Amino acid sequence: MKAVVTGASGFLGSRLAAELVREGHQVVAGSRKPVPELVALGARHAPLELSDRDALRNAFKDADVVFHVAAKTGVWGPEREYFESNVTGTHNVLAACEQRRVKRLVYTSSPSVVFDGREHVDASNDLPYPHDYLCSYPATKALAERAVLAANGRWGLATCALRPHLIFGPGDPHLVPRLLARAREGKLARVGPGDNEVTLCAVETAVAAHIAAARSLRPDSPHAGRAYFIGQERPVRLWDWIDGLLRALDIPPVQRRVPFALAYAAGTLCEALWWLARLAGEPPMTRFVALQLARSHSYSMEPAQRDFGFREPLDIEEATARLVASLRA
């Protein structure tokens, strides 16, 4: 199988490309700059910008499957940049799939596309898209996800979207390092009661789900034209998990508590200040982050297990132990 991975220099994209090579597939790693580790494994690098349709067409030549992982992430930034990368870029990927007659497209989405600020506990795939979003990332990812799912069956293309939730693991450059940095600086505080239930996703689990979804994807497959939450089968109490991680790394557990209403108000104020004063960087708090830290957002893996045979390759305890071992090393 010839597979193309966009965003192959990122955390998930690089791990996905590496696993595909190990399984014996011909892999094209699409990214702005080469990833030496992937090239050493045997992947071919394709210079890729989502705005460059010619580059996409060149990368997708003779591809059996495209894994569209590349995206602009984060909770703050110019809306135009998110739209150009996540929406226009995805439409360019779809156009290249049409022109190259690619048969399968697996799109990396996010549970935030259906996050409406309310409690989601063991939620299934039928959550509706909210009418309004609190930041550009979920808004643009939702538009892109809809476009990908609507393309299923066109030009012989089969599509599906996966929504891995809070990806972590060895080599994570974003989630856990930022969490640990704030904890060491004494800037981490429980928001709300601190009993919210959250699904986490080990990077190995996200990789396994992408490969499983692609393996049996056809326009009439049960998962074709549909979106699926992906993560560990057992959710965690978010703040208990964070405290356990901190203790394992000899960092004092989180002591401070902030009422949700206060955190949400602070997020509103920070967003206004950053927007009016055109301040650089992300605000220390936003409304979206306050809700994510205080609310439950856990999801059922049963639909993915039923429709395309997804199974987590390791449980939450083993995934956390691997993370701790890598951080200690």
Helix runs in 188-282, H state only: 203-215, 238-248, 260-277
Handedness of CA 253, 259, 262, 268 (dihedral sign): positive
Handedness of CA 231, 235, 239, 243 (dihedral sign): negative
d(C-alpha 212, C-alpha 69), whole Å: 15
Q: Which string of DSSP letters, residue by residue, matches 56-74?
A: HHHHTTT-SEEEE-----S
- Could you give the angle at the alpha carbon of 113 between the alpha carbons of 261 and 175, nearest 5°? 70
DSSP letter at 4 equals: E
- Which residues lie below 8 Å from residue 126, measured CB to CB, with a gap of 6+? none
- Could you give the angle at the alpha carbon of 211 between the alpha carbons of 328 and 50, nearest 5°? 90
Quickly tell me which residue has 């049960």 as its tokens.
222
Give yes or no: 129 in active site.
Answer: no
DSSP letter at 43 equals: P
The arrangement of strands across the sheet holding 44-47 comes to 44-47, 26-31, 2-6, 65-68, 104-108, 158-164, 227-230
d(C-alpha 48, C-alpha 57), whole Å: 10
Angle of the 89-100 helix axis to the 136-150 helix axis, nearest 10 = 20
Exactly one of 107, 137, 228, 264 is catalytic; which is it? Answer: 137
Query: Residue 258: which of 196, 194, 195, 189 has the closest Cα?
Result: 189
Q: Which residues are catalytic?
A: 137
